[in-house]
Amino acid sequence: MQTMLNRKLTVPDTLKKNGIHILGDFYQCQDGHEELFDARLLEKFCEKTIFDAGLTQVGKLFHQFPNAGVTGVILLAESHLAIHTWPEKNYLTLDVFVCNIGRDNTLKARKVYETFKNLFNPQEVNHQEISRE
Amino acid sequence: MQTMLNRKLTVPDTLKKNGIHILGDFYQCQDGHEELFDARLLEKFCEKTIFDAGLTQVGKLFHQFPNAGVTGVILLAESHLAIHTWPEKNYLTLDVFVCNIGRDNTLKARKVYETFKNLFNPQEVNHQEISRE
């Protein structure tokens, strides 16, 4: 008699995890203070960085908190970039998530991440890379 | 003579990592096929789920790929929800990221995540929870 207990569902080969999600928490940013505060400046920087990396923007949305930080996202054909800033703490979180269906976008994602790191020059970083679709 | 070598930069107490970022990769979704395909339906579901969980939406952006999946985001006062669907694979990725400055939003984030899991009923899940600000 066939049992369903402990049945292991396998992930199809077509769903290999070739995508990459880079998560960066930037503490004690030494530079980029205007972008931490100003949604328009941050949006402009995000769009240029995505374009320069060769990723494909399909939409954007930025929100300015009054007298405070910015939260924003660039939607990509390849997934998304998301950023949240706390200028009063010189702190921000950055997500760069790219799927790799059709082509490997890993180097582009890392280029985006490094461009942000260079702008903000954090003294302390929590950096993680997670494999996804 | 003071040396700067091996100097460990400490993270201020005000930057304790109390936030939570839940990453879910849902494979072989058994339900929610209309939402996988239709940006308007998915957007409606996302907004309702955020509202029901007691999180605060500050913006939304959804993109419909022609005859394909959806990519979308809800910007929150607490950070963001992001979703990308591949209906041809019955697959999606979900991110629920909430900071916990001022209050602990962990349970709300988990409620959002579970609501999506219940809708799409995936047969295989990669689930991770990451501590952030």
> What percent of chain B clears pLDDT 90, i.e. is strictly above it?
80
- Strand positions, DSSP E, chain B: 19-29, 57-64, 70-76, 79-86, 91-98, 122-132
Instruction: Provide the shortest C-alpha distance from residue B90 to chain A (in Å).
Output: 10
Does residue B51 surpass a pLDDT of 90?
yes
For A129, which residue in chain B has the nearest alpha carbon?
B130
Q: How many residues does chain A have?
A: 133
**Cα A120–A122–A126 angle (5° rounding)?**
120
The count of CB pairs under 8 A between chains A and B is 108
- Best probe of the A interface among B4, B7, B14, B15, by most A CBs < 10 A, is B15
Instruction: Provide the shortest C-alpha distance from residue B1 to chain A (in Å).
Output: 23
pLDDT in tens, B75-95: 999 999 999 999 999 999 999
A124:B76 CB<8 A: no
For B24, which residue in chain A has the nearest alpha carbon?
A132
As a whole number of angstroms, the distance between CA A123 and CA B38 comes to 43
Told to judge if A21 belongs to the known catalytic residues of this protein, a careful annotator would answer: no
Angstrom distances, CA of residue A104 to CA of A78, A113, B23, B80, B116: 10, 16, 21, 26, 28
In this complex, the residue of A25, A79, A95 whose CB is nearest that of residue B71 is A79
> What percent of chain B clears pLDDT 70, i.e. is strictly above it?
87
Looking at residue A18, its pLDDT comes to 77
pLDDT in tens, A10-32: 445 455 567 999 999 999 999 99
B79:A61 CB<8 A: no
Looking at residue B5, its pLDDT comes to 39
pTM over the 0.90 mark: no
> What percent of chain A clears pLDDT 90, i.e. is strictly above it?
80
β-pairing, A79-86 vs B19-29, is unpaired
Looking at residue B17, its pLDDT comes to 61
- Best probe of the A interface among B88, B92, B126, by most A CBs < 10 A, is B126
Told to judge if A79 belongs to the known catalytic residues of this protein, a careful annotator would answer: yes
In this complex, the residue of A73, A95, A124 whose CB is nearest that of residue B61 is A73
**A94/A104: higher pLDDT:** A94
Looking at residue A102, its pLDDT comes to 76
Indicate which residues of B carry an active-site annotation: 79, 84, 99
Task: Specify the 3-state DSSP secondary structure of B42.
Answer: helix
Asked if residues B62 and B72 have their Cβ atoms less than 8 Å apart, the reply is yes
Domains of chain A: 29-132 (3.60.90.10)
For B68, which residue in chain A has the nearest alpha carbon?
A77
Does residue B66 surpass a pLDDT of 60?
yes
